[in-house]
Chains A and B, each alone.
Chain A
Amino acid sequence: RKEVEQDPGPFNVPEGATVAFNCTYSNSASQSFFWYRQDCRKEPKLLMSVYSSGNEDGRFTAQLNRASQYISLLIRDSKLSDSATYLCVVTSLTASKLTFGTGTRLQVTL
């Protein structure tokens, strides 16, 4: 089983749609969780951290469910510029690294 699993997609949605991505992780000792965004031929960039209480940043909402070991990202009112690959990232102090999921590709269309 992969340490961090994501549906690779692609998710093709029209502008204005709401889309949700899920991610599951296998290490119950994981401590910190993030969503990164990667555009084609660019480096991954931090989109948002994911907190146990859930957090929102504009049109983006992230949730963490430790009991079920999954993380979600909700994007409301999708824009063309949201088209990218969204990477779920999990870390633990003992692992000393960030472990990436394979990414979920989002394509927002007119």
Chain B
Amino acid sequence: DTAVSQTPKYLVTQMGNDKSIKCEQNLGHDTMYWYKQDSKKFLKIMFSYNNKELIINETVPNRFSPKSPDKAHLNLHINSLELGDSAVYFCASSREQGNTEAFFGQGTRLTVV
């Protein structure tokens, strides 16, 4: 059983479209994250949720809207996709917020054309 699973693995879409990425964890963790890894391979936090509540929104454009229906799920919806949104998006979860290790999903490679 995959601990943190996200879908889809690959997403190719045109500029201006709206798309969603889903993430689920079966580890019973309280905290979930979205990270973005750009072409320079730098992993940057986008959002952090603890028990369905938004903790961090790291200056992400309003076009990105996370949704946590329960603490096992954290989905990411992106409106009006732009070329610069092309990246790998990783979902992750950790037992507590902030100071425990995180486990990552396999990533979603988003390409905007």
| Range class of the A interface residue count | 20 to 34
Are B101 and A34 touching (Cβ within 8 A)?
Answer: yes
What CA separation (Å) do A100 and B92 show in the bound complex?
A: 13
Residues of A within 8 A of B48 (CB): 96-97
Q: How far is the CB of B46 from chain A (nearest CB, A)?
A: 10
What CA separation (Å) do A46 and B101 show in the bound complex?
A: 7
Chain B interfacial positions (CB closer than 8 Å to A):
31, 33, 35, 40-45, 48, 50, 55-56, 58, 90, 92, 94, 97-107
Known: A96-B48, A97-B48, A99-B45. A43 touches B98 (CB 8 A): no
Residues of B within 8 A of A95 (CB): 98
Residues of A within 8 A of B101 (CB): 32, 34, 46, 49, 98
Chain A interfacial positions (CB closer than 8 Å to B):
31-32, 34, 42-46, 49, 85, 87, 91-100, 102-103
Are B98 and A102 touching (Cβ within 8 A)?
Answer: no
Q: Which residue of A lies closest to B55 (CB)?
A: A96
Q: Name 20 A/B residue pairs within 8 A (Cβ), A-sorted.
A: A31-B98, A42-B106, A42-B107, A44-B90, A45-B104, A46-B103, A49-B101, A87-B43, A91-B100, A92-B98, A93-B98, A93-B99, A96-B50, A96-B56, A98-B92, A98-B94, A98-B101, A99-B45, A100-B44, A102-B42
